[in-house]
């Protein structure tokens, strides 16, 4: 589909519409789809972020926060960071309560730690998410693609659990003790971390004589046109990049304010790539693609 346009979204009333984002760790809700989240909240939709794990095994990625007192209390610290991000984005949030698998470092990769989310029984995890879906009754659900967006075992698990729960939530035969069946209408994968976007931001930085954070990354990432062609949906949300940035900064142990997240000036991002991008994977409503709205084709309380 064509490149994103800078057309400002018309103010729309989203009352009665509900969106669920399923994420692996605290901070994923702020690094993926956060500006469209902020936009939908501003327009009156209800958004629930479901966080599968507590991020217990996340490394501290901000040098200013790499202190023993933080590391000792990382679970509690990340819980507080999540609460701040939740309030900034204006969403509600729930934890599925699984344990972070950690990033398996080494070649060959070490086995995953016992009891972690990456090893948890798929049926058990699916039932927990089905319970959340039947309670919140989302019209739209988002998750990661089958590669996990990036190959963290928790992200791949999150994908598997989300797809399974989307399918099971409306089926009265599945998990009868997990609440009244509810069929969400659309399932999306996040695709915002795509190569054409990175290339466009990189080119704009070079053009403005600014140092691009993406030089090396682009060299190593060979173009994947078929993968990029999977994008069906570009949600204009440039006006909310500021909210997204505040939510990111709330995750102080994970986000370095001097790092690549903030290397591209926001005005440039708004001009060059003012959308967040998604792939519509399942739809139970008439929703011709390409589209620019996760709720396209859905009436409130349909």
Q: Does 49 bind Zn ion (CB under 5 A)?
A: no
* Residues contacting 213, CB < 8 A, separation 6+: 205, 260, 263, 264
Measured between alpha carbons, how far is 94 from 23 in angstroms, rounded to an integer? 10
Q: Compute the least distance from the CB of residue 72 to Zn ion, in Å.
A: 22
The binder of Zn ion chosen from 9, 28, 235, 241 (CB under 5 A) = 28
Q: Annotation-wise, does 191 bind a ligand? A: no
Nearer to Zn ion, 25 or 197 (CB): 25
297, 283 Cβ separation under 8 angstroms: yes
DSSP state letter for 112? P
Q: Annotation-wise, does 25 bind a ligand? A: yes
Nearer to Zn ion, 29 or 279 (CB): 29
Nearer to Zn ion, 58 or 238 (CB): 58
Q: Compute the least distance from the CB of residue 53 to Zn ion, in Å.
A: 8
- 3-class DSSP state for residue 282? strand
DSSP H or E segment with residue 276 = strand 275-283
Tokens describing residue 288: 């011709």
Q: Does 248 bind Zn ion (CB under 5 A)?
A: no
Tell me how far CA of residue 186 lies from CA of 172, 284, 299, in angstroms: 19, 6, 12
Nearer to Zn ion, 54 or 238 (CB): 54
Show the site string, 8-27: x = touches Zn ion by CB under 5 A, - = not. ----------------xx--
Measured between alpha carbons, how far is 264 from 31 in angstroms, rounded to an integer? 15
Interstrand relation of 92-98 and 140-143 (parallel, antiparallel or unpaired): unpaired
Q: Does 190 bind Zn ion (CB under 5 A)?
A: no
Q: Compute the least distance from the CB of residue 149 to Zn ion, in Å.
A: 8
Length of the chain: 302
Q: Compute the least distance from the CB of residue 24 to Zn ion, in Å.
A: 4
Nearer to Zn ion, 45 or 91 (CB): 91
> CB 124: neighbour CB atoms within 10 A?
10
Nearer to Zn ion, 28 or 277 (CB): 28
Residue whose Cβ sits closest to Zn ion: 25
Number of residues in contact with Zn ion under rule CB under 5 A? 3
Q: Compute the least distance from the CB of residue 95 to Zn ion, in Å.
A: 14
Q: Compute the least distance from the CB of residue 88 to Zn ion, in Å.
A: 18
Q: Does 57 bind Zn ion (CB under 5 A)?
A: no
Residues in region 160-179 near Zn ion by CB under 5 A: none
Nearer to Zn ion, 28 or 276 (CB): 28
Q: Annotation-wise, does 21 bind a ligand? A: no
* Residues contacting 281, CB < 8 A, separation 6+: 187, 188, 189
Measured between alpha carbons, how far is 203 from 261 in angstroms, rounded to an integer? 17
Q: Compute the least distance from the CB of residue 7 to Zn ion, in Å.
A: 32
Binding-site annotation, residues for Zn(2+):
25, 28, 155
| Binding-site annotation: residue ranges | 25, 28, 155
Q: Where does this chain bind Zn ion (CB under 5 A)?
A: 24-25, 28
């Amino acid at each position: 589909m064509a490149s994103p346009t800078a057309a400002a979204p018309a103010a729309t009333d989203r009352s009665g519409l509900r969106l669920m984002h399923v994420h692996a760790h605290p901070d994923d809700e702020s690094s993926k789809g956060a500006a469209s989240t902020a936009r939908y909240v501003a327009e009156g939709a209800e958004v629930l972020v479901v966080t599968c794990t507590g991020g217990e095994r996340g490394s501290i990625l901000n040098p200013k926060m790499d202190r023993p007192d933080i590391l000792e209390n990382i679970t509690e610290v990340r819980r507080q960071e999540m609460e701040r991000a939740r309030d900034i984005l204006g969403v509600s949030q729930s934890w599925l309560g699984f344990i972070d698998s950690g990033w398996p470092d080494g070649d060959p990769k070490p086995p995953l730690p016992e009891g972690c989310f990456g090893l948890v029984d798929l049926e058990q995890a699916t039932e927990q998410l089905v319970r959340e879906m039947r309670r919140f009754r989302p019209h739209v659900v988002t998750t990661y693609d089958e590669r996990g967006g990036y190959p963290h075992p928790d992200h791949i698990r999150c994908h598997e659990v989300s797809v399974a729960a989307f399918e099971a939530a409306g089926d009265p035969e599945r998990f009868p003790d997990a609440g009244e069946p509810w069929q969400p209408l659309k399932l999306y994968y996040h695709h915002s971390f795509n190569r054409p976007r990175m290339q466009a931001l990189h080119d704009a930085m070079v053009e403005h004589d600014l140092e691009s954070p993406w030089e090396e990354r682009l060299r190593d990432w060979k173009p994947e046109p078929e993968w990029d062609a999977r994008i069906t949906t570009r949600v204009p949300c440039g006006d909310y990049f500021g909210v997204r940035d505040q939510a990111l900064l709330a995750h102080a142990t994970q986000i370095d304010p001097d790092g690549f997240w903030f290397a591209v000036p926001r005005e440039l991002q708004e001009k060059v790539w003012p959308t967040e991008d998604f792939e519509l994977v399942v739809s139970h409503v008439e929703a011709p693609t390409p589209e620019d709205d996760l709720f396209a084709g859905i009436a409130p309380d349909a």
